[in-house]
Structure 1
Amino acid sequence: EQAVADWLAVLAAAQSAARRNTKIGVAERTLALSVLRGALLDLLATDDVERTTAAVDQHLTNMSSASSAGLHKARS
């Protein structure tokens, strides 16, 4: 449980202060950690570095695109 809390704190530090303390911010951190943990389990089970790395990269791209779209929407 402490390991999860520690990782969630690291991910929180990467979020804006305004986003960090919202339900959406908590959900984003939980999703990011879940993806990382799942990819790690997959990597350990399959030793497929290329595929699991591509999956994490794609998730980060999706998160970045969603954040940019949200910022653009908020500014409109």
Structure 2
Amino acid sequence: MTASIRTLDTCGLACPMPLLKAKQALNSMASGEQLLVTATDQGSWRDFKVYAEHSGHPLLQRQEVDGIYHYLLEKK
């Protein structure tokens, strides 16, 4: 069984909005679901890493491609 993946586009939003929107989305998700977030805010690179370390929601992947940041989180 593959995990369900939701997507969240926060491109154009400034810090702290990408992380706040991701937190809201995770709160409405079931354990095991995944959230793919795209963002353009450079500060999100650090924010998502720190959030994952403190929240217990694993950051499965993060990458930057042409100024777009992609984060894959798993709801725990």
Decide which structure has the larger Cα Rg and report it. 1
TM > 0.5 between the two? Answer: no
Which structure ranks higher in relative contact order (CA pairs < 8 Å, sequence separation ≥ 6)?
2
